[in-house]
Amino acid sequence: MQDYLLHAKNIWGFLGPDYAVDKSDFLLVMGSSDLRVARYASEFWFKGLAGYVIVSGGSGKLTKEMWAVSEARNFSRIMIDEGVPKDKIILEEKAANTGDNIVNSQKLITGLGLPANSGILITKPYMKRRAFNTASKQWPEVNWSVSAEEVSFDDYLRKQNDPHHFISIMVGDLQRIKIYADSGFQIRDEVPLHVWDSYEVLVRAGYDKYVVG
């Protein structure tokens, strides 16, 4: 198991690079089953780096069984409780995947006529690269950056109820960095050989639940 964790850590490091974050027009908080993203988004808001927030997320594969409301609504409740002004939050409640988060938010923000030259994506630590690559392709007019909770792989893993499931999600996300670029859904991004080697080891070991094909 320890060897597999080293391979998982390789993938974690690639999927969650650091991005320079500057003052931007808005935050785009990407919904999921991880409520820590909403809490982190609340903390981030008080840095004063954005003028408004759009929270995007409908009901995904996991959350439709967990909550009676959308991811966006659940996240926004937490953010309001944490002190983020309700009148600064816009809800997008139909997104079912990362591409939807971007495309649906673009339509909503454009329709409202709000400034959108620059945006900060708020997501899970291992989703930073995929979020940035998707947003850069699907809404290229925006100058994007990304932020997420600062946490080590080991600490994040310890918080998981099912480590095998978590690692399987990362393996699937890494594959999508490649295949979604080929399909035109994301910008192209070179996966280092040692990271792809780790992917192949983990797939052979059975961490393949979210691998396409």
Residues in CB range of 106: below 8 A, 6 or more apart: 116, 138, 139
Q: What is the pTM of this model?
A: 0.93
Write down the pLDDT at residue 59.
74
Write down the pLDDT at residue 33.
85
Which pLDDT tens digit goes with each residue over 20-76? 999 999 999 999 889 999 999 999 999 999 999 999 999 766 656 665 579 999 999
Over pLDDT 70: what percentage of the chain? 95
- Cα dihedral 35, 38, 44, 46, rounded to 10, equals -130
Residue 209 CA: distances (Å) to CA of 4, 172, 196, 202, 206? 16, 8, 17, 11, 8
- Is residue 196 within 8 A of residue 144, CB to CB? The reply is no
Give SS3 for 27.
strand
Q: What is the largest CA-CA distance in the chain?
A: 51
In the chain, CATH 3.40.50.620 covers 19-148
Q: What CATH code would you report for 19-148?
A: 3.40.50.620
Which pLDDT tens digit goes with each residue over 137-168? 999 999 999 999 999 999 999 999 899 999 99
Q: Which two tokens stand for residue 4?
A: 């597999």
Write down the pLDDT at residue 164.
95
- Relative orientation angle of helices 2-15 and 163-182, to the nearest 10 degrees: 40
